[in-house]
Amino acid sequence: MNLMTPRHLGCYELDSKVDRIRLHKTAHHLAVHPLSENISHQYNVHIEDVAEHSTEIDALTGLPDQSGFNKKLNLMMRECQIKLDESFGLILFDFDYFNQINSNHGHLVGDQILKTLAERVQRVLPQEVFFTRLGSDEFALLIPHIHSDAYLIETYALIHQEISRPIEYLDQIIESNISAGCAIYPRDVTDTMNVVQAANIALCRLKLSGRGGYCIFKREMQIEQNVIAQQFNCARYILRHNLICPFYQPKFNLKNGQLTGFEALLRWYDQHDQLQLPRRIKNAFEDYNLASRLSEIMQLRVFRDMAEWIDQGLDMVPVSINAAPVEFLKDNYAELLLDRLDRFNIPHSLVEIEITEHLLDEHGKAYISRALNKLKHEGIRIALDDFGTGHSSLTRLANLPVDCLKIDCDFVQRMEQEKLIFAIVQSIISMSSNLGIDVVAEGIENVHQLELLKQQGCEIGQGFLFSHALAPAEAKALLS
C-alpha cells in the first residue's frame, strides 16, 4: 500500500496494538512513525512515487476516493438490477468531533491519525468489502451480498473496534469514535431517494439524538427528514426577511410580587401575522450555522431594547438569554457575546445566560467551561435551565460557575399530584439554598403551585399565573 502524499513524505510503521505517532522534519522529508511494540511493517516512501497515484485514489489514505466510490456504486446497482435477488449494504461514517483533534494537535497530526485509522479498518475488512474515503473525515463501505441488517451491524462493530483503540502522540492518548448511517439497496430505495441519501438520513437521525454508534435507515426517517428540512427552510426564511422579534417573560419575587427580571424569548410573525414559537424551528438549533445566526440576531435585538430602556432612564432588571448547545462547538461564544454587549454599552450585570443541563453532556466540555468562566469573570450570570431533566450531577455544579438553577415547568406542573416529583422540587430548592445558588421556578400556572413553592423557600418564579411573554412595548410599560 502506498502511504505517501505530496505533503507527507517519509517512513511509516504499524503497531498491531497501540499506535504511537511521532512527526519530525528534515531537509527532505517529513516522517511519521507509529512505533511497533511487537510485529510491525515498515514502508519507505519517496516523493517520486507520488506521481503514480491514480486520480481515483485518495492521496492520504491510498483508498478509493469519491470518484472511485461512485463508479463502484453504479456497478453494484447494475448488478442488482440484472440479478433481481441480489442486494448490497452501504455504511457511511465520519469521526465525531474530529475538528477538535485538528484544532488541538494540528492538521498534520490529524491527517496521520486518519491514515492510521483507515489502515486499521482496511486490515480487518473482508476482501469483498469496498472501503473508500469520500473526503475530510468521511468514509464509506459497500458490502455485497447482504439481505438483512445483521451483517451491517457486524461490519460496524468490526470497524468500531479498530477505530476505538487509542493512539499515542507526544505522551497523550488520542481516542476516536464514529457515527455511522446504514442502508441496503434496493430495499431502502424509492423513486425520490437513492441508497446514499437513505444512509445519510440515518446518519443525520443518529446525530440529532447524540453522536456515536450506528443507525439503520427506516422509511419513517424520510418523513422526519422532510420535517427537519422544512424547519431549516423556515429558519432561513426568518433570517432572510429579518423577522425575529424578542418577547420578554417576566420573573417575579414570589413573596412581594416585585419584578426581578425577564427571560428573552425568540418569536416571529408569519405571513399571516400570527405569532410563532421556536418549536416550529427547533431542529434549526441543532445546526451550528443556523443556530449561531439566529442567536446573533436575537441578542442584537435584545441588547437594542435594553439600551433604549436604559437611555430612557427606566429601572432596569436583568435579562436572561438562552444559548443553544451547538453555539459552543466553536471556542468563541464568550467573545462574540461580550463584543455585542459592548456595542450597546450594556452593563454586564444586567445579562444572564441560560444553558440547558443537556449541554453539559455534549462533547467539547473544555470550550463550554472556558466560555462560562470567562463570562462569569466579566460579571455575567449563568443559569442552568431545565434542571433535573438531564443527568444531574453535584460535580457539575461544583465545577461550573452556576449562579441560578431553573426548575423545569414540567416538574412544577406535576408536583401537585406526584409525591416523587414534589420531593425532587423540594430537594432542588434546599440544595440551591445550601449552595448559595438562586432558584427560579418555571411554568407557575395556579395559586396552589405558587403556595407550595413559597412554602419550600423558592423566592423567584415565572409563568402564566403572573404574565404571558410580553412584546417589547409591554415589557417597557412594566418597567415604567
Same domain, 251 and 376: yes
Are 345 and 255 in a shared domain? yes
Can you give the length of the chain in residues?
480
The domain tally of the chain equals: 2
End position of a domain, from candidates 217, 243, 264: 217
What percentage of the chain carries pLDDT values higher than 90?
A: 67
Q: What is the CATH number of the domain that holds 454?
A: 3.20.20.450
Whether residue 243 sits in one domain with residue 97: no
Which pLDDT score, from 0 to 100, does residue 329 have? 80
Under a CB-based contact definition with an 8 Å cutoff, are residues 78 and 86 in contact? no
Residue 3 within a domain: no
Which distant-in-sequence residues (6+ apart) come within 8 Å of 264 by Cβ?
A: 246, 247, 248, 298, 302, 319, 320, 321, 322
- 50 in a domain, yes or no? no
Identify the three-state secondary structure at position 190. Answer: strand
Strand partners, 70: none
Beta strand pairing call for 351-356 and 381-387: parallel
For 111, 319, 366, the CA distances from 295, given in Å and listed in that order, are 33, 15, 21
> Model's pTM, two decimal places?
0.70
Q: Return the closest-CA partner of residue 93 out of 131, 45, 128, 145.
A: 131
Q: Please tell me what DSSP assigns to residue 436.
A: T
CA distances from 88 to 77, 102, 463 (A): 8, 34, 55
Both 241 and 209 in a single domain?
A: no
pLDDT score recorded for residue 34: 43
| pLDDT, tens digit (0-9, with 9 covering 90-100), for 276-294 | 999 999 999 988 899 999 9
What confidence tens digit (pLDDT) does each residue in 460-471 have?
999 999 999 999
Q: pLDDT band for 207, please (50, 70, 90 cuts).
A: confident
Are 408 and 261 in a shared domain? yes
Place of cell 445550601: 434
Is pLDDT larger for residue 210 or for residue 355? 355
Q: Is the residue at 183 inside a domain? A: yes
Taking the C-alpha atoms of residue 380 and residue 260, their distance in angstroms, rounded to an integer, is 16
Measure the CA–CA gap between 61 and 411, rounded to whole angstroms.
52
Chain centroid to CA 475: 33
The overall longest dimension of the chain from CA atoms, in Å, is: 82
Reported as half-sphere exposure (CB side, CA atoms, 13 A), residue 424 has a value of 22
145 shares a domain with 111: yes
DSSP conformational letter for 329: S
Asked if 239 and 205 sit in the same domain, the reply is no
Q: What integer is the mean pLDDT of 380-385?
A: 94
Work out the pLDDT band at 395, boundaries 50, 70, 90: low
Which domain range does residue 126 map to? 62-217
For the four alpha carbons of 295, 296, 301 and 303, in that order, the dihedral sign comes to positive
pLDDT tens digits for 424-460? 999 999 999 998 999 999 999 999 999 999 999 999 9
- Looking at residues 389-402, what average pLDDT do you find? 69
Question: Which tens digit of pLDDT belongs to each residue from 85-128?
Answer: 899 999 999 998 888 888 888 888 889 999 999 999 999 999 99
Q: Kindly state whether residues 158 and 271 are assigned to the same domain.
A: no
